[in-house]
Amino acid sequence: MEGIIFYWFMWLGWVVVTFIMRKNKSRVKLAFFLLVTILISKVFLVVSTFYINCSLIMFLLLGYYLAVKNKRKLVTFYLTNLTLTFAYAGIMLFHIYDPVWFIFDYRIIVSLIVSLLAIYLGKDSSQRFTFYLISVSQGEFLYWLIMSKFHDQLTFGTAAFLDMIVIGCAMIYLWTILQQFTLLVEQSLHRFQKQTKEKQG
């Protein structure tokens, strides 16, 4: 059932941020964003014959906010976002053209590919989330604009899109935790080796 992953992940994220995350300004902002995004996930803006999911707009605005907050080299940033945007739209179009190649659920495949590209191209977790949020949201617009040549009354920000955006963000978050854990283990081993050498010396 498309959309169920979005609600599970978003509610889980809200619980973690509200009750477990350390108290600071970012926690309040993030909890507010998660709650509002859940509440407006069934609200649509009507533009001509198109229906735009308000949650899609929220994710896109969050991506732009992170981009402005973390100032980067503009040319590199835009080129990377453009690459990932075309990657998302291209994979979605390929799924329509030849779905036989998608052995597993296409939502997982698309999320995996784009999130791995964001992880590879991003220098830190904030930049990776920024790349993923903006590129997937823009890619959703690009994909449906192309499809609008063949269909009328299309929806930007479908339930499948909501699933894909939270799956990709979860993958980036898990990668960040894995990196931090690996760094902690390396530091602990280095400290242990240093103490051992001091005792031997």
Residue 201's pLDDT is: 58
d(CA 45, CA 57): 10
Give, for all 201 residues of the chain, the pLDDT tens digit: 788 999 999 999 999 888 888 888 888 889 999 999 999 999 999 988 889 999 999 999 999 999 988 776 778 888 999 999 999 999 999 988 888 878 888 999 999 999 999 999 998 999 999 999 999 999 999 999 999 888 777 899 999 999 999 999 999 999 999 999 998 988 888 787 777 776 665
Q: Where are the domains of the chain?
A: 4-180
Tracing tokens 């296409």 back to the chain, one arrives at 106
pLDDT for 192 equals 75
pLDDT of residue 53: 95
Tell me which H or E stretch contains 2.
Answer: none
Q: Which of 64, 58, 62 is nearest to 157 (CA)?
A: 58
Nearest CA to 132 among 117, 142, 153, 145? 117
Which tokens hold the place of 96? Answer: 């329509």
Q: How far apart are CA 55 and CA 3, in angstroms?
A: 12
pLDDT of residue 200: 67
Does this model's pTM top 0.75? My answer is: yes
Predicted confidence at residue 93, as pLDDT, reads 92
Residue 125's nearest CA partner among 185, 74, 60, 171 is 171
The helix (H) or strand (E) run that includes residue 96 is helix 74-97
Report how far residue 125's alpha carbon sits from residue 130's, in angstroms, rounded to the nearest whole number. Answer: 9
Residue with tokens 């909890």: 31
Q: What was the pLDDT predicted at 115?
A: 96
Per residue, the 3-state secondary structure of 26-90, as one string, reads HHHHHHHHHHHHHHCCCCEEEECCEEEEHHHHHHHHHHHHHHHHCCCCHHHHHHHHHHHHHHHHH
